[in-house]
């Protein structure tokens, strides 16, 4: 899920493990632990767009990483506080740097999602405010001793990493939790990668916890309230997916459509409007369904014929094979003469009636050049992001 949600979850985990012993520093280190797996996006600076798709949610989101990496972090934190090095200027600048890196990651994510200058300026201003607060009320003070064992630090980081990739598994993107032994991507498809209904109540609880007295009963209650609310909402999304699966089954059956497999997943930012996609040997079938629709049989199911000639041609290229793996085979291909346009159908369409590539969320282009192909990602330019979201909100209200 998004970086802010992972920070909130990590902070809550840190409070559970070490909140009574070290107070808000448990929240800070938990938040850092919740962010570390997503730092694999920094690989984007050193590799191609296609390679970055493969690396993200890879080894840093695996059981292997969650078990072994906390050893290094636990040793480092144990040494840091046991030696008194945390009182040095170097430590303070390192912590400030980590803070800036995390906030920059969140700001970058906001820009990628919105491409809005005002949103970036708002996020950047808030980041500067938090950095100032960190210096003013934490780094510039004479810090109290920390009495936490290696074992306790290990548990904090293990749970921060484990809950991070566990949460990611509930989205449609896919998480390679069995790396480096397998590149299988786990995706339960019950929640959007950004869902304010999950994040906002959880965030409010964590913020309140930070202002309550260390070790107080109220602090523990509020933190567990946040964990309970987020867990209950996640359970709600699981039941929603089961319901939508049944709706899609009946819709396909009523139209005498026989398919080999199918999947459903929520459209971005909510859990009311769902995208449904199924595959047969000759075509994909895709549509939208809202929990508020009056017709339980779905209004539209679009038929997207497969261009088998184009697929056969592209199958000789490793780049296409990678994209096909990444999309779990839900990859629509359109021959555009000199290029091939590809759509990852897992993330659904933006409207009930599909007229072209602009109706999809995740669009890609392959351009054959000799014995290789050039890869690039494209965005929907049919309408602005604001117009797209407003259209999806209207559709979510149901027919």
34-56: b (≥16 Cβ within 10 Å) or e: bbbbbebbeeeeeeeebebbbbb
* Position with higher pLDDT, 47 vs 327: 327
- Can you tell me the mean pLDDT for 122-148? 67
pLDDT digits (tens, 9 = 90+) for 12-21: 999 999 999 9
Report, as an integer, the average pLDDT of 51-77: 94
Highest mean pLDDT among 75-79, 84-88, 143-147: 75-79
pLDDT in tens, 318-344: 999 999 999 999 999 999 888 999 999
Residues 34 and 12: their CA atoms lie apart, in Å, by 10
pLDDT for res 111? 63
Instruction: Tell me the angle at which helices 196-210 and 24-35 cross, rounded to the nearest 10 degrees.
Output: 150
At residue 57 the predicted structure's pLDDT band, cuts being 50, 70 and 90, is very high
pLDDT tens per residue across span 218-258? 999 999 999 999 999 999 999 999 999 999 999 999 999 99
Kindly tell me if the per-residue pLDDT of 303 is higher than 80. Answer: yes
Which residue shows structure tokens 């000639």? 309
Q: Residue range 276-302: average pLDDT? A: 91
The mean pLDDT of 156-174, rounded to a whole number, is 96
The pLDDT of residue 107 is above 80? no
| Position with higher pLDDT, 273 vs 354 | 273
The mean pLDDT value for 28-56 works out to 86
Q: Band the pLDDT of 381: cuts 50, 70, 90.
A: low
pLDDT at position 108 is 67
Task: Give the lowest-confidence range in 152-161, 164-173, 380-389.
Answer: 380-389
49 pLDDT band, cuts 50/70/90, is: confident
Rounded mean pLDDT, 32-48:
86
How long, in residues, is the chain? 399
Q: Which residues pair with 109 in a beta bridge?
A: none
Alpha-carbon separation of residue 157 from 44, 118, 179, 186, 396 (angstroms): 25, 35, 19, 22, 38
């Amino acid at each position: 899920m998004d970086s802010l949600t992972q920070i909130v979850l990590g902070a809550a985990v840190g409070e559970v493990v070490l909140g009574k012993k070290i107070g808000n520093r448990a929240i800070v280190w938990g938040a850092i632990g919740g962010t570390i797996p997503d730092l694999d996006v920094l690989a984007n600076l050193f590799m191609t767009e296609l390679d970055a798709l493969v690396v993200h949610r890879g080894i840093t989101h695996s059981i292997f990483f969650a078990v072994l990496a906390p050893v290094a972090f636990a040793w480092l934190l144990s040494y840091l506080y046991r030696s008194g090095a945390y009182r040095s200027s170097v430590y303070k600048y390192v912590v400030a740097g980590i803070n800036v890196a995390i906030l920059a990651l969140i700001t970058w994510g906001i820009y990628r999602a919105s491409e809005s200058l005002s949103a970036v300026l708002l996020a950047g201003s808030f980041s500067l405010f938090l950095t100032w607060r960190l210096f003013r009320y934490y780094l510039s003070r004479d810090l109290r001793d920390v009495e936490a064992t290696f074992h306790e630090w290990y548990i904090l980081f293990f749970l921060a990493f484990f809950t991070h990739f566990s949460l990611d598994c509930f989205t449609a993107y896919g998480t390679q939790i069995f790396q480096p032994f397998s590149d299988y991507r786990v995706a339960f498809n019950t929640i959007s990668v950004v869902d304010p209904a999950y994040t906002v109540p959880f965030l409010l609880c964590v913020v309140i916890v930070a202002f309550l007295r260390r070790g107080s009963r109220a602090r523990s209650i509020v933190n567990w309230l946040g964990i309970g609310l987020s867990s209950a909402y996640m359970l709600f999304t699981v039941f929603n997916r089961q319901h939508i699966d049944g709706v899609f089954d009946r819709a396909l059956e009523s139209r005498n459509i026989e398919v080999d497999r199918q999947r459903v997943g929520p459209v971005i930012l909510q859990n009311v409007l769902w995208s449904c996609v199924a595959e047969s040997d000759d075509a994909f079938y895709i549509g939208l369904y809202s929990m508020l629709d009056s017709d339980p049989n779905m209004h539209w199911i679009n038929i997207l014929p497969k261009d088998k000639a184009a697929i056969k041609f592209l199958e000789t290229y490793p780049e296409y094979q990678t994209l096909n793996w990444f999309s779990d085979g839900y990859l629509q291909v359109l021959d555009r003469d000199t290029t091939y346009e590809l759509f990852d159908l897992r993330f659904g369409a933006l409207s009930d009636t599909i007229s072209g590539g602009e109706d999809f969320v995740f669009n890609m282009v392959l351009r054959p050049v000799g014995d290789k192909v050039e890869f690039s990602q494209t965005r929907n330019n049919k309408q602005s992001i604001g117009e797209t979201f407003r259209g999806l909100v209207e559709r979510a209200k149901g027919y």
